[in-house]
Structure 1
């Protein structure tokens, strides 16, 4: 596909570039040595010191003069896509237009991309001339990549003095995780919208259970008059409690619970795949990643939030033992606090915890909810085991997620 067909509209540029002048420590040192050389040379009559001091001062002056010049640019930063999947090619362009009445001298264009920086040589531009630079952004890892700002730089060859003008704001490129479709595979796990029956009895619901004798305080609308006439006493209808399907999926972001970064990326992909499926099926869902709650009003918002998920130790935070972790970051406690009425609770974690530890974790999940623990380990064999209402599944590849869910239903 030609690049021109993928390049989107430019984001608004700054009305006036933000200017900044920086002088390197070497420039200050050269100026100081130059002054010392002139003073000492003239005092002691040493021509060599005078020559060296003069040379250093001339270099500093030339460096300063090289940054002089007015930049009358209009700079547009364009990204072909602001949301891509891992591995997809992401392109962009920088358009520099001379809006002044005079030609502008050559300069250097710098573009921050993530933690790196790209540099482009900007030639002399005649009035009303435009120069375009194309660039590609690597998307080998799920992340949110900052693209920009775009700066024009004037500096001397030795880097003593530098003047830069910032022309655009920073843009964000969302690299979404890989996902798979769970259509049909999750049918036995994510229940239908009519609600599932529970063993709890209720006075008012849809699923009829039995008749019982009337007691003071019962709703008179539940009286079954025909049965009351036959029994010669008031009888009321009793129902089984049902509830609307609500799926809660929580990703463990506690670093020691994950053996490798690849396993954690697998966990993020599982979380996003679950989220997309419940969105397609128009079901109620709550998605958590540590203390973060993922937006579920649209697929794009969900995937954008998935791109921001990181392990705390990647952010330089101090890791705490499990018994000191806050409920806001514990995956099971998070479900119990923020989705207490869920019908399905899915906890996505690594494989460094034992089944006994996970069984203890399951006790904190909402009562009556079906629990599924997905243990992600890149390259591992997929195995499923169940203990009552709790299922444990090992997952080694994202492509096996559908099969693992079907196995969890049978187990």
Structure 2
């Protein structure tokens, strides 16, 4: 990429090389058993749960349910005063509806399981899906009318995710919530409650949830402007990369493929192996850069300017990594981290997600960087709002 003239760069989203070991998934929480696991049910525990429900489990009366109870009380008073059998039958039907509603509401949650899935990495200012996976462990009865209330750090109110279709017995479903983190840092995604108005809407049954997931939010990508700089171009010496290319050093031998030049044929190896073999040369790469992020509180006095610096560092690290020119990264006086693969870049992005202005950024004498190398990329404030990037003290980019 030529950088001889100022240009505006828009960073593309970075995809993690591999998900974490747990895949960003919490454990199963259920009113019944985890899918595939048999649970011994006890009626004594069920009856005790009706008298003293678990924490977060509530059964609330709705407006239609209150109206039904008021009507039932009126009919009961009229029935006792008049001794009318028809009024007693109507009273019995209303009370039976309330009892039947509570029973079906309990059956609607029985052996239901759910879990929370948040797949990192998350970027500030970008949409990310949060998934709630459901499993109906019943053998015959489907589930209806469930909803889930989820929230995240910084959200003013919880988001309700309804299950709009029925969930058949032994069936699974996925509810998706689009989350947009406002800022970098640590983020807690939590599933608060699971509720239902099934079947008649007289009673609202709520079950408290304890599922939560802590994730890191990387800095938001920003647009920045590059300036003409000699260090951006290939310097006098050339590094050889351990991959195939058009350099002058022999990298490997491989079988001849249609379209290969006859000048690349290695005749001695071809005669020995009795098949055509061609030379493959090592690629020439440009000299890389070492990024050093310094966070002294005396220099970064404005929080918004510090956040912009973190975003600029993250964006430039991604761009240099894609170009194969990011050699190592360091924050303050920490040991430099060589960047050889995607996992190394992800570790640096995790560090940028939680870094804060430090009272004393590093303990080394003077301004000696922890990376003993030329082409050291550093950052400094530019006025009251901007941020400048320097390469060996020479202005290289701004945001």
TM range (shorter): 0.3 to 0.5
Q: Please, what TM-score do these two structures have when normalized by structure 1?
A: 0.45
TM-score (norm 2): 0.46
**Structure ranking higher in helix proportion:** 1
Q: Which has the higher contact order (CA 8 A, sep 6+)?
A: 2
